Amino acid sequence: MKKVLVLGGGFAGVETAIMLQKSKLFEVTLVSERDYLFLYPVSIWLPTREINFEDTKLALADIRRKYPFRLVIDKVTGIQSQSNKVTLENGKLEYDYLVVAIGSDKMRPAGIEHTHTICGIPEANLKFTDKFQELVQKGNGNIAIGFGGNPKDKSAVRGGPAFELIFNIDHYLRKKKIRDNFNLSFFAPMEEPGAKMGKSALKMMSSMFKKQKLHQYYGKKIQGFEPDGVVFEDNSKLNADLTMFIAAGTGSGVFKQSDLPLSDAGFIQIDKHCRVPSGQHVYAIGDSAALEGPDFTAKQGHLAEIMGRIAAHNIIATETGSNNLKSYQEHISILCVMDTGNGAAYVCN
């Protein structure tokens, strides 16, 4: 039985492992740094305490009980595709097929240590929640929420959670009847953040920001962060007692310790079937992969999950001698149910 090694315990990696295990054609091993799948989409409800941290975690052991793949909790440090080996902190693993789904690293603008995030390591959400609740207890403050971009890969942006978070915080403060004591500001270096959602969605968002009195700082590159706010390229400053910033993605440092072909932004190059062109039975999916598609292409959770299914399908097809390969590109779309605190907005493209 051939060995398939799946690197990454996020949506993409877990979906791949499940689909391959269901085929009963392979010995499947999933490698993850954490022993749980973190549900990033619901982390927007942590700061307002609508859910607890434990509600965001799904134990990989529970998934494994239903789909009995082998589970290894360890950190990947290198990939040697020409010799079919992966190096971990605590050893090495060999494979016949490899699926890379370990996500991406984050860009690090100057002073980023003065910010908090909800799209980094899971525990970072707890730090932001604590700081936000401190301001709530104080009863007033200036809160800045924003995201950045990667000029080398426009798909590596996470803006949606920032929009949802500011609407949730606005609604939360209104319920507590202290909203008038807070300044809520949204910042991004693009002229039209959220443009991938389409013109009608942009118009809707602008109307919502004005209605809720959310200040907007768009179109200025971020020079850096300071303990008390955000500094832009023209040396203007957005003062803030608390700054939440979602940095754009960039290729994982692990990829530099590999022999895989990388894009200018450091992501793994793939064809439309999720295969790495120069790799022997190597696939890359989700945030690990360099995506190709229309201007609105974005690294989203639902696309990562779909890419996991496609990679599994194509591995099965290859192993069974079928030419029925599937492409991830036909599934590229913008699909978003944006939480607004007291409701939601559905956006699709």
Domain boundaries, the chain: 2-104+251-331, 121-247
d(C-alpha 87, C-alpha 143), whole Å: 42
Which CB contacts under 8 angstroms, 24+ apart, belong to 265-269? 265/150, 265/152, 265/153, 265/156, 265/290, 266/105, 267/104, 267/153, 267/156, 267/291, 268/100
What's the confidence (pLDDT) of residue 124? 95
Give the chain's radius of gyration (CA, Å).
21
What's the confidence (pLDDT) of residue 198? 64
What's the confidence (pLDDT) of residue 278? 77
> Among 81, 95, 91, which residue's Cα sits nearest to residue 3?
95
What's the confidence (pLDDT) of residue 294? 85
d(C-alpha 225, C-alpha 307), whole Å: 35
What's the confidence (pLDDT) of residue 279? 66
What's the confidence (pLDDT) of residue 158? 87
What's the confidence (pLDDT) of residue 337? 75
**Could you tell me the CATH superfamily of domain 2-104+251-331?**
FAD/NAD(P)-binding domain (3.50.50.60)
| 2-104+251-331 and 121-247 in the same fold | yes
Q: Which listed CATH number (3.50.50.60, 3.40.50.970, 3.40.50.20, 3.40.309.10) goes with 121-247?
A: 3.50.50.60
Over the chain (349 residues), the average pLDDT of each successive run of 10 is 97 98 98 97 93 96 97 97 96 97 96 96 96 97 96 90 94 96 96 70 79 93 97 97 97 94 96 89 97 87 94 97 95 77 72
d(C-alpha 145, C-alpha 31), whole Å: 33
